[in-house]
Amino acid sequence: MHRDNHSPIGATLTSRLPSGLLACARSDIASTHANSSLPQSTLVQLTPSGKGGGGGLQALLLPNPTPAGGSCRPASCCQHPAHGLPCAMAELPPAHGPASRAAALATACISHRHGSPGHGWVLRDVRRAHREDIDGIGHKYHLEFVLEDIFEKDSTVNCTAEVLYHLGNKKNAPDVQFTIEGELKNTDEADNAFYDRIKSLKKELEAENIPDSYGHVSPEMQPIRALAWAASGYVIWQNSTENTKYQLAQIKHVKQVKRTDEYLEFDYMILLHESVSQEIIPWQMTVLWHPQHGIEITQNSRQPKHTLH
């Protein structure tokens, strides 16, 4: 089985794990950390040091919600009346700018981790949001939000996430940890059906403009779109900052790449819409997928704007 020499981020985590403890991180090392001050199902992410890659691991400390811990701002040290968290934590209007951007990023991360040709989510609603300014590290958003199944509008799932945007160094993707309430729908059947269909094609699949100008996606292209949705979650996560909000706008072009092994490979040219700048950004991504092994983005790159006639 041939695998690209790119170390896939989190590939091992996309196999059929029960909903719950996952993260988008620069390393695929993760462990649960028993900490009585944290909610039961929270994962503490161990991240490599900020300077890019190697070297020691540095534990990322989450704020201790009890009065004894956390950091205080020099000017005033207070208890937030509503939730007892340290005052460096500010409650945000959940639906507005910064919170919605953080939630969109968390959604992208969840899509990347759990999405497949048969399954995807879009952010429906942000219920609560807090922002914590961690001196010397960055801004961390604590979110409660609701996702909607892209195939079944009335099917929703509640999530929480912590999104950490690192200070300064723009090269570091944000850290995202999330939890999903309850069991996720099993989409093995839909995934396998898609897999079998593509494997049995005489000619490599090729298509463009999904959805088309009128918003239509043919039934045959739904899984192609869902796969792009999941894969773009990775691209979005890698390129997000506190001041960006990316959405997959359209698949301009997709072409299946012939492989000798069991993986399916698609070369996508997608358009991302960034809501703050309003830019439409063409992006190329090469996506590997297998029903049991999940999604891997082996290559991706931003394209120049004039690619759009």
Partner 1 sequence: MALPPTRDQVLRAVASNEEQIALLRELGEQVDLQVDFWRDPTKPGRPADLRVPFSRLQAVKVFLESHGISYSVMIEDVQHLLDEEKRTMMLSRRMERSANKFNFASYHTLEEIYDWMDTLVADHPNLVSKIQIGESYEKRPLYVLKFSTGGSNRPAVWLDTGIHSREWVTQATGVWTANKLAEDYGHDPTVTSLLDTMDIFFEIVTNPDGFAFTHSSNRLWRKTRSINAGSSCIGVDPNRNWDAGFGDAGSSSNPCSETYHGPYAHSESEVKSIVDFIQSHGNVKGLVSIHSYSQMLMFPYGYKRTPAPDHEELNELAKKAVNDLAAVYGTEYTYGSIADTIYLAAGTTVDWAYENGVKYSYTFELRDTGRYGFLLPSSQIIPTATETWPALLDILVHIQQHPY
* Residues of the shown chain interacting with partner 1 in the complex, contacts defined by CB under 8 A: 93, 95-97, 104, 122-125, 148, 150, 211-216, 247, 249-250, 271, 273, 275-280, 305, 308-309
| Pick 29 or 95: Cβ nearer partner 1 | 95
The minimum distance between CB 37 and partner 1, in angstroms, equals 33
Burial 82-103 (b: 16+ CB within 10 A, else e): eeebbbbbeebebeeebbbbbb
Asked if residue 63 has a cis previous peptide bond (ω within 30° of 0), the answer is no
For residues 309 and 181, what is the distance between their CA atoms, to the nearest angstrom? 43
Per DSSP, helices labelled H in the chain are: 97-114, 188-199, 222-239
Specify burial of residue 147 (Cβ count, 10 A radius: 0-12, 13-18, 19+): buried
The closest of 274, 278, 273, 277 to 252, measured between CA atoms, is: 273
| Pick 78 or 95: Cβ nearer partner 1 | 95
| Pick 16 or 96: Cβ nearer partner 1 | 96
The minimum distance between CB 200 and partner 1, in angstroms, equals 29
The closest of 236, 235, 210 to 221, measured between CA atoms, is: 210
The closest of 260, 245, 227, 239 to 111, measured between CA atoms, is: 227
| Pick 114 or 291: Cβ nearer partner 1 | 114
For residues 266 and 279, what is the distance between their CA atoms, to the nearest angstrom? 25
| Pick 90 or 308: Cβ nearer partner 1 | 308
| Pick 153 or 197: Cβ nearer partner 1 | 153
Query: Do the bridges between strand 280-290 and strand 175-180 make them parallel or antiparallel, or are there none, so unpaired?
Result: unpaired
The minimum distance between CB 124 and partner 1, in angstroms, equals 7
The minimum distance between CB 156 and partner 1, in angstroms, equals 12
Amino acid at the residue 64:
N
The minimum distance between CB 301 and partner 1, in angstroms, equals 20
The minimum distance between CB 287 and partner 1, in angstroms, equals 20
Q: Is 17 helix (H, G, I), strand (E, B) or coil?
A: coil
The minimum distance between CB 143 and partner 1, in angstroms, equals 15
The minimum distance between CB 140 and partner 1, in angstroms, equals 21
Please, which residues have CB within 8 angstroms of residue 23's CB and are 6 or more apart in sequence? Answer: 10, 30, 43, 45, 109, 175, 176, 177, 178
Mind giving me the DSSP string for 95-161?
TSHHHHHHHHHHHHHHHHHH-BTTB-EEEEEEEEEEEEEETTTEEEEEEEEEEEESS-TT-EEEEEE
| Pick 189 or 279: Cβ nearer partner 1 | 279
| Pick 2 or 309: Cβ nearer partner 1 | 309
